[in-house]
Every structure is written in structure tokens, then in C-alpha cells.
Amino acid sequence: MQFQSIDPYDGRVHARFDVWDAGRIEQALGDAAGMFPLWRDTSLRRRAELLARVGERLLMQRDELAEVMCAEMGKRLVEARAEVEKSAWVCAYYAEQAEAFMADEPVHSGAGRSVVVHEPLGPVLAVMPWNFPLWQVFRFAAPALVAGNVGLLKHASNVPQCAVLIEDVIREAGVPAGVFQTLMIRSGQVDAVVRDARVRAVSLTGSEPAGRAVARAAGESLKKAVLELGGSDAFIVLEDADLAWTVERAVQSRFANAGQSCIAAKRFLVVEAVADDFVARLAEAVRALEPGDPRAPQTTLAPLARADLVSEIDAQVRDALAQGARCVTGGTPLPALGPNFYAATVLEGIRPGMRAWEEELFGPVALVTRVADEEEALSIANGSRFGLGGSVWTRDVARGEALARRLTCGAAFVNDLVHSDPRLPFGGCKDSGYGRELSRHGLREFVNVKTLWVR
């Protein structure tokens, strides 16, 4: 069996990679276990220096890496270049902050001296998605590696070139072989790797079914797990919002990366007093999006990564329309452009019972629901089983912050779209997963927080 690198825009097969057998997996796990003591005992300063070099190499290879992302999952080149730069940023951030984040913490107690120390766990498996094929990996790898862990990457099957290049970049920066390895394994092979005694923790970003399967294996093996799963972020527009700014950011939040993002705004909850104006502005901006070749500078809407994603989003839209939703714009595949294109879409009148209400929509579809006031908006927002992100839009910043504090989610933004930042913790609650990535909190997920008591 093989992994294939298939271009979502034109269907070309760029590369093929053999799926590993049990012997090759055993070799990789053995290499990881053997390298861990050496990497753990490498000085923190040296690990940070090497991580900084990884960031530098990412910037040196920005255009090459962006081209591969474009070829494998259809990301627009301008977005792909920005993703490489952000991945370099997270490397630089943890290289700078590692000493502070890993420092001993003296605690006053009954001991002569008591200290909290932070020690790496060992080999950590990362199960990563295709939609941000570099950023998702490096936001795991940068803190895990600088803390002294070694990394094992099971990347999505449709981005094998990205997976190989990530390991190459890390190795070429001077990180020793075995400290970070890409495993060419299928989803069905993940369970055994999670359960292997040499693997000490696992981080997954992906679907709910994948998260539940990994959590089950990790729990039964008594191993730490961090899960970042789906989202259906609420985008609450109050009656005093600056609509020009709000619509501009709404379009960016929902339609960047062709809508293939967990933290994209998906449910637009708009106070009735401004709903007509908001919907008209949003529809106008959405109609102006230009689908096409993700390599072309004029393209503002990329293809979806695979044809099955088009079928899924279309089924969700058709279900909503059959139950009374109104299509403001879009609402159809675009077969003339290729099998992976779907029109940028705005739907109104979404209500409970529709798939679009209950499920995550992973594509270029915005859902608008009119609400009487902020209390109804809050009730609908928090009524979701997801809890990844949310945003509030109002000219009254104090009012916006007060409402954002009441949102049940991992990240709440006022007057800006939800996004990840190396300096801030990222993750969700409820069916969006648990644990945190980024910031001090992300690094601490994969260390042993140990008490040291000296009389």
C-alpha cells in the first residue's frame, strides 16, 4: 500500500510513499527510545539553539514548503507562505522562552528546600491533520522537543511530502537523528503505537472519531493525551458592531483555507436590529471571492482538499435547505472548476435538527441565525456540544468582554477573529477536546511536574 500526494486542483499525483510494515515501525520506536536519554541530557540551552535553527531553516525554505502545501492540500500560496512563517515563529518563541518555562520553581514549605522541577516524559506521538500541515505539527513539536522529549509524527495520509519535509528540516537544522521521526503509517496502525510502552504520551488534532479512539487507547495505557478536535465557533454580532470591520473579519474567519479550519467562525449569531445589513454586506463580500488555481494571485477561494469533503459539505447544505433554511448565495459544488470546488455559501434560518446546526461544517459555508439580543445569542452559542472558540463584535469593549467571559470555549475574542498565537494557550472544552497547546501551558502538557523535597 502507498500514500499518494494528489494535487486537489488538477488531480496530478506528485509523489508516492510506501506504508511502513511492523518491522519499520519497530525500528523507529526503538530509535526514539534509544535517543531519548541522549536528547533529555542535552543541555536546555543547546536544545533551544537547535530549535532556533529549525525556525531559520523554515524561513530559508519558505517557498519550497509553501509549494508542497499547495500541491498536497490545495492551500493558496499566500496562505501557505504565511503558515511557514508562523511555524518559524513558534520555533523562535519556544527557543527564547524555554529557559523560563522549564525553570525550577522554589516553594516555601516545611522542608529545608522544596522545588518543583519539570522533566520530559519521553517519546511523544503526534497524530496531525492535513488542513494546516506545517503549523499543526510545529505547534506540537517546538515545545515538546525543547522540553527534552522526542517526537513521533503520524501525519495525515494526503500530505506525505509535508510529513517527510518536516523531518528533513528538523534534521538539517542539526537536531540529531531519532529525535524527531515521521512514521509512514495508516490510521489503523496508530492504536498499536499509542499502546506501545515506549511511547509516553500522545497529542492529536483531528476529528472526533479519531480523538475518541486515541483517547481510549491512551486511557487504557495510562498515558497523557492532548486532544484538539472539531469546532463550531460562534460569531456574535451585537447591534452596535462596526459592520464594515465585522464583515471584513467574518469573511476572513470563515473562508480562509477554503473554510477548512476548526477555529473558523461557523455560526453567525446576529442581533435582529442589524441582521439585514449584516447579511447583505456578508453576501456581497462572499460573492466577490474568486475560486480558482491556489497558485494564482487573483484566487481568493481555494479548492477543498478532497472530493469527499465536497460531497460532505454539500450534503449538509442540502439537508438544511430541505428543512427550510434559505440560501443567500452559493450552495452548490462548482464542477466546472474541478471535483474539489464548492461555492462560497451563506445560509440563513439554521435551526436545531439540521445537520448544519448539530455538526461541524468543514468548508466554505457560513451559517446565519438571527437573535433577539445578546442573551439569546449566548444561549445558542453555549448550547453547542463544541467549545473551541468564539467571538463577540461590539463597539462597547467592556460589554464585549463581559459577554466573551460567559462563552463556554477555550478562546474568546472581542472584535477580532479567533486565531492561535504561540504566546497564548490554545485548545477547547466539551466535544472540542482537552489539554492545551502553545504558551507555557502547552510546554507543560508533556513534562513531569515533579516535587523535590530536601530536608
Q: pLDDT tens for residues 372-413?
A: 999 999 999 999 999 999 999 999 999 999 999 999 999 999
Q: In the 8-state DSSP scheme, what is residue 455?
A: -
Q: Which amino acid is at 426?
A: F
- Answer whether residue 125 is part of any domain: yes
Residue type, 211: G
Tell me, yes or no, whether 28 lies in a domain: yes
**Residue 306 included in any domain:** yes
Do 78 and 141 sit in the same domain of this protein? yes
User: Quick check: 220 and 214 in contact, CB under 8 A?
Assistant: no
348 backbone dihedrals φ, ψ, rounded to 5°:
-115, 160
Residue 109 belongs to some domain of the structure: yes
**Catalytic-residue membership of 228:** yes
Q: Which domain holds residue 197?
A: 2-229+432-454
Domain harbouring 92, CATH code: 3.40.605.10
pLDDT digits (tens, 9 = 90+) for 222-246: 999 999 999 999 999 999 999 999 9
Instruction: Tell whether 205 and 252 lie within a shared domain.
Output: no
The Cα-based distances of 15 to 139, 169, 318 in angstroms read: 26, 19, 35
**How far is it, in rounded angstroms, from Cα 414 to Cα 411?**
10
- The residues pairing with 452 across neighbouring beta strands, listed in sequence order, are 115
| Residues 267, 219 share a domain | no
Assess whether 443 and 399 both reside in one domain: no
Report the run of H or E that residue 368 belongs to, with start and end. Answer: strand 365-371
Radius of gyration of the chain (CA): 23
Residue 61's nearest CA partner among 41, 84, 28, 83 is 84
CB 267 within 8 A of CB 365: no
CATH of the domain at 404: 3.40.309.10
- Dihedral sign (CA 46, 48, 50, 52): negative
Q: Are 122 and 144 in contact (CB under 8 A)?
A: no
The answer to whether 386 and 430 have CB atoms below 8 angstroms apart is yes
Task: For residues 204 and 249, state if they share a domain.
Answer: no
427, part of any domain: no
Q: Is residue 210 part of a domain?
A: yes
Q: Are residues 200 and 134 in the same domain?
A: yes
Residue 278: closest CA among 175, 161, 394, 178:
394
Q: What is the pLDDT along the chain (455 residues), one digit of tens a residue?
A: 899 999 999 999 999 999 999 999 999 999 999 999 999 999 999 999 999 999 999 999 999 999 999 999 999 999 999 999 999 999 999 999 999 999 999 999 988 999 999 999 999 999 999 999 999 999 999 999 999 999 999 999 999 999 999 999 999 999 999 999 999 999 999 999 999 999 999 999 999 999 999 999 999 999 999 999 999 999 999 999 999 999 999 999 999 999 999 999 999 999 999 999 999 999 999 999 999 999 999 999 999 999 999 999 999 999 999 999 999 999 999 999 999 999 999 999 999 899 999 999 999 999 999 999 999 999 999 999 999 999 999 999 999 999 999 999 999 999 999 999 999 999 999 999 999 999 999 999 999 999 999 99
Q: Which of 228, 348, 360, 374 is catalytic?
A: 228
Q: Are residues 262 and 160 in the same domain?
A: no
408 CB contacts (<8 Å, ≥6 apart)? Answer: 381, 382, 387, 429, 430
Total count of domains within the chain = 2
**Which residue type sits at 34?**
G
CA atoms within 13 A on the CB side of 70: 22
Confirm whether 143 is domain-assigned: yes
Identified catalytic residue from 70, 91, 162, 262: 262
112 burial type by CB count under 10 A (0-12 exposed, 13-18 middle, 19+ buried): exposed
262: annotated active-site residue: yes
- Claim: this prediction has a pTM higher than 0.85: yes
Task: For residues 219 and 85, state if they share a domain.
Answer: yes
Whether residues 325 and 379 fall in one domain: yes
CA distances 81 to 63, 76, 84, 134, 301, Å, are 7, 9, 5, 10, 16
Question: Does residue 128 lie within any of the structural domains?
Answer: yes
User: Hunting for cell 515538546 — which residue is that?
Assistant: 144
Shared domain for 163 and 254, answered yes or no, is no
- Domain check: are 291 and 197 in the same one? no
Please check whether residue 315 is in contact with residue 362, taking contact to mean a CB–CB distance below 8 angstroms: no
Q: Which three cell numbers stand for residue 281?
A: 454586506
122, 108: one domain: yes
